[in-house]
Amino acid sequence: MMFKNNRSRRAVAIVALSLAAGLVLTSCGRADSAGSDASAIDALDDQPATGELNIWAQADEAAALPAFAEEFLELNPDLTINVTALPWDAAHNKYQTAIAAGTTPDMAQMGTTWMADFSGAFTPVPEGIDTSGFFEGSLSTNMVGDQLFGVPWYVDTRVFYFRKDLAETAGFPEGAQTWDEFKEFTKALQTEAGAEYGVGLPSSGTDAFQSMLMFPWSNGAEITNADQTEWTLDSPEWVEAMEYYESFFSEGIANPDAETGAGSGESEFVSGKTPVLTGGPSLIGSLTAAGGGEDYKDMIGVMRVPEEVSSTSFTGGSNLVVFEKSQNPEAAWKFARWLSEPDVQVRWQQAVGDLPAVESAWDDPALADDELLSVLGEQLTDTNSPPTLTTWTQVSAQADKALEQIIRAGADPAQTMADLQSAAESIGTGQ
């Protein structure tokens, strides 16, 4: 189903693509490959974009983009933009199928951990797009090998949210800054503030390992060596971090069998059962809603990842990429460049909630003066991300099993990480 705004030669369309629908649609996919040569542009000029631009995006971003793009179309009156909406849980397969069939759109929203999977179908970022203002960790998710294949659209990171009233009672009104303080803080929430559990931490399930990476990273551990040719999952820094993480469960501070259904963590936070949670910016809204409305924000505290040798968190989000089969790569990159402007990034955050990937956007009062969001901005200055390797998905799945063995079966962290290293070496780095 398509909706168009036909005012003064401008149009923005959004196409709802159901799971049962085919990929070849007249407004968003092409079976020919005539665009493969046209997509290799060296530099962008400042002339208005023209023609038709077909974009695939996911979830809230796909829903908000058509109306948001109206301003860009005011500046580029001879351009038409069509947005196709994909569900996140089906998007990876949709992109994979489209690449194989040669029916990719011009441009797409790409999850940061998918870049290596599909980079062979992307065109490199041309000159004329200034990438110097992006957070380094966010920009790095676009690097595959030594080539930049996209630009950050928005960034996601993980911080810790806590009940301010219970933290005050526990004697830690500002939360905790170090590993030692974090252990003391979460214990005190139980002994002094009456919480059943001091903190909610992932113990098993898909991507549980990825969700706790801030602990090994903050202990100086790395998943691979610098050039991503070797796995380094059995280093002393890894073992120390896994021992520290496991101690929260063995000491009864975190619940290994916590409910993981939608809203369960928020419910336990509001009730005081588990008054510390880790999450991204969307958790602010869900905690506020669970607490009954905007006034509940006064109960929410936020702190950076506790430091051992650093305070390093996970960086994720979405990137903007242009496919090598694009029929209009110039318009695609010009739109990506516009979406990367600091003031546009601030307005996008206000409209959708996504965090700006451009560092200077955080100087805007809308973000700098927000007590909760400003901490996320501080955290974004120290982040890391999983390697951009095609085999990371396989290794991550093995790591989820390793984490569950350590937490639930009491497996020795040193031996388990040694076994994970061996499994990763068998899988390889795909290079």
Q: What is the rounded CA–CA span in Å between residue 105 and residue 65?
A: 16
At 40 the pLDDT is 61
Q: What is the CATH number of the domain that holds 117?
A: 3.40.190.10
pTM, full prediction = 0.86
Which of these, 343, 329, 322, lies nearest to 45 by C-alpha position?
329
Q: Which of 32-36, 130-134, 283-287, 348-352 has the lowest mean pLDDT?
A: 32-36
In this prediction, residues 333-339 reach a mean pLDDT of 97
Statement to judge: residues 81 and 150 lie in one domain: yes
Statement to judge: residues 413 and 375 lie in one domain: no
Residue 1 included in any domain: no
Statement to judge: residues 117 and 106 lie in one domain: yes
Residue 232 included in any domain: yes
Statement to judge: residues 307 and 324 lie in one domain: no
State pLDDT tens for residues 148-179: 999 999 999 999 999 999 999 999 999 999 99
Residues 6+ positions from 248 with CB-CB distance below 8 Å: 183, 186, 198, 199, 201, 254
Report the greatest alpha carbon distance in the chain: 68
Q: What is the rounded CA–CA span in Å between residue 223 and residue 228?
A: 9
Residue 284 included in any domain: yes
At 41 the pLDDT is 77
Residue 97 included in any domain: yes
State pLDDT tens for residues 178-198: 999 999 999 999 999 999 999
Statement to judge: residues 414 and 266 lie in one domain: yes
In this prediction, residues 360-381 reach a mean pLDDT of 95
Q: Is the pLDDT of residue 124 over 60?
A: yes
Statement to judge: residues 309 and 416 lie in one domain: yes
Q: Average model confidence (pLDDT) for the chain?
A: 90
Which of these, 2, 5, 45, lies nearest to 26 by C-alpha position?
2
Residue 368 included in any domain: yes
State pLDDT tens for residues 6-64: 333 344 444 443 333 332 322 333 333 333 344 567 788 999 999 999 999 999 999 99
At 63 the pLDDT is 95
At 260 the pLDDT is 82
Q: Is the pLDDT of residue 102 over 60?
A: yes
Statement to judge: residues 30 and 62 lie in one domain: yes
Structural domain span for residue 191: 159-314+385-427
In this prediction, residues 352-360 reach a mean pLDDT of 95
